Structure 1
Amino acid sequence: MTPQTKEIVLAEPRGFCAGVDRAIEIVERALAKFGAPIYVRHEIVHNTYVVNDLKAKGAIFIEDLADVPPGATLVFSAHGVSKAVQNEAHARGFEVFDATCPLVTKVHIEVAKLAREGYEFVMIGHKGHPEVEGTMGQLDGGIHLVEDVGDVARIQPAQTERLAVVTQTTLSVDDAAEIMAAVRRRFPDIRQPKQQDICYATQNRQDAVKVMSRQVDVVVVVGSPTSSNSNRLAELARKLGVESHMVDNAGELRPEWLEGKSRVGLTAGASAPELLVGQVIDRIRELGAVSVRRMDGVEETIRFPLPKGLKL
C-alpha cells in the first residue's frame, strides 16, 4: 500500500480511567491548597509524562518515607500501600492523602475482612508490582502469590478450608482467567470475589483491542514501560496475531513499523494522557496517514470522590 492510504483506527475507550483522574487531581489539589512541595510515595501513576508534569508543579516522588521531612504533606499513589507504610506515615506525623484507586481499596477491604474470619489467600499478580506489594502487605502473612499456572501447583497454604482468591486489578483478563481456572482445579472450594477484581477500565481497554485487532495491520499502544495495563494491551494484540508496539511518546514511534501498513490501530493505557495520543496521531499523519476513524466502544461515566480536606 502507498503511504497515502493509511488510516488510523482509534480504540474506544482508551487512556485515563477514573482512578488515574482522581489520583492526579489529589496531587494537584494538594499543591494548590498547601503549596509545594507535596511528597508522593511512588509514582502517582505509571506514566513518565504525568510524573514529570507533577514534578514541575512541585511534587517530589519518594520511595522511602525517611526522605519526607516532618510535618510534610504526603500522598499515597494510586497503586495502594501496605499497612506497614500506612502505619509509618501516621507515626511520623505526616498529613496523608490516600490516592489509592477505590477499586484497589475494595480488594484491601475484602482481604482484611476475610482474614478476620480466618482465611488465607491466593493472589494472582506480578511480583514486585506496587499494587501487589500493597495488597499482600495488608496482612503479616497468609497470602500466596501466583504469577502463572505453574505457580499454582507450588504454593502450600497452611489450610484449605478457608481459602480465598484475589487478583491485581490491571492483569490480562484472559491470562487471569486461565490462572483462576488452575486455582479452582487445585482448590475447588476456594472463595472467589463476588465481582472480579480486574477493574472495569482494564477490561474495557482490552475488549477494545480485541475488536480493533481484527481491523488493523499494526497496533500502537501509548503507555510507559512501567505501566502494567499498557503492557497487557500490547501483549494482547500480539497474542491475537497483530504486530504491536508500545511508545511512551510520539518521539519513540519508528517509521519502519508503519511501512506497508494500511491501517494503524492506536490505543492508550489507563495512565496515559490524551495529549500524548494526540501527538502520536500527529506523528502518524506526518508519516502518511490521511484519516482517523474512531471505533464505537463503551462510554465510561464512573467518577470517584476525592478525599476529605481537599476542597479548594
Structure 2
Amino acid sequence: MTSTNTSKTFPLNLPEGDPELLLDELQTRLREGRRLFAEVGQILAEIESRGVRELYGYNSLAVFYEHVARVPRAEAQKVTGRALALNSRRTRDGTSTPPVAPLTGAAAATGALAEGGIDRIVKVMRRLPEHVTASARFDAEKVLVDLAGVARPRDVTIAGTDLLAHLDPEGNGSKDPAPKTPRSEFWLRQKRTGRWDMRGDLDPETGARLNALLVPLSHPAPNPEPDDRTPAERRGDAFAEIVDLAEGGPEIPLPRRNSEQVDERPKPTKPVEKPESSRDVAHIRPPRWWARLSRPRTGVKTPLEVDDRTVVQLPDERTAPPPEPKTA
C-alpha cells in the first residue's frame, strides 16, 4: 500500500521558505486595504455633501454607515468622523469645507497610513490654535505624516504633544473646557416588586469610607456551619446593618427644610360645600341640561335655598308685569 503525501498549499500560492517575500506580500495587502478604505472615506464625504437624508433617508452619516457596513455604532462614528476630517465636502449653500488634515488625507489615499496614526494626526490638527500660520500648520502636519508612515500610533502621539507644546505653549488652542471635579452621585428607585434598586458613582474618599464599613461586616459569619451566602449577598446584609446602625444612632439627621419656608403655616380653611341638591344635579346632568333647568322662567315658581330649607317663592303682584290687554 503506497501513501501519497500531498504538499500543503500556502494561501495565495506563495512559495515557502522566503520570509522576505512573505513580509513584502503582507505589506502590499495592508497598503492596498488601507487605500481602498480611504476611498470608502471619500465616498462617505461625497454622500455627506449631497445629503444622506435626501439620498437614503438617514438622519446622520454614522447611522447610515452603521446599517450599510453592519458595524457597531462606535466604529461607525469613528469611520465617518475620520472620513469628514480627511476629505473636503460641500455644504448646502454650495461653499466648500476644507479638510482638517489635507496632507494626511492625501497620504491615506496611497495606503501609507494606518487608521490609528490618522486619528492621532487629526486630533493634533484640531487642537492647533488659530494664530498658527498656514506654513507652520503645513510643516507640523508633514512631520506627523512622515512619522506615521514608519512608526506606531503612540509615537505619533508623543510627537504631536511636543508640537503642541512648541506651537501653543500656553494651551490656548484647546477648546475643551476645564475639567470639573466630578461630584458623587447616587440613584435609588423602587421596582414594581417592592424591592429597591440602587447604583452610584462616588468620589474616592467616600467610596473608600463606605468600603471600610462594608468589608468587616461582609466577612463570612464565624459559625460552625458554612456560610452559604454569596459575596454580593454578604455585602447586601452588611449594607442593611449599616442602615440599621445609622437609623438607631443618637444623631439622626432631620429632613432638610427650605430657608424660605416659614415655621407656622396658616391652616387651610374648610371648603364651603355646595347644597346637596344643586351639587348632585350639576354632577348628574350634562352642562347644557343644567343651564336649561336653572334658567328663570316668567310666572313659574322658582325654588330658593335658605338654611338648607326649600321655600317656594310666589310671583309678587307689585313687581309682576301687568297683564297684556286682550284684543277683541
TM-score by length of 1: 0.24
The answer to which structure has the higher strand fraction is 1
Q: Which has the higher contact order (CA 8 A, sep 6+)?
A: 1
Larger proportion of helix: 2
Larger radius of gyration: 2
TM-score scaled by structure 2? 0.23
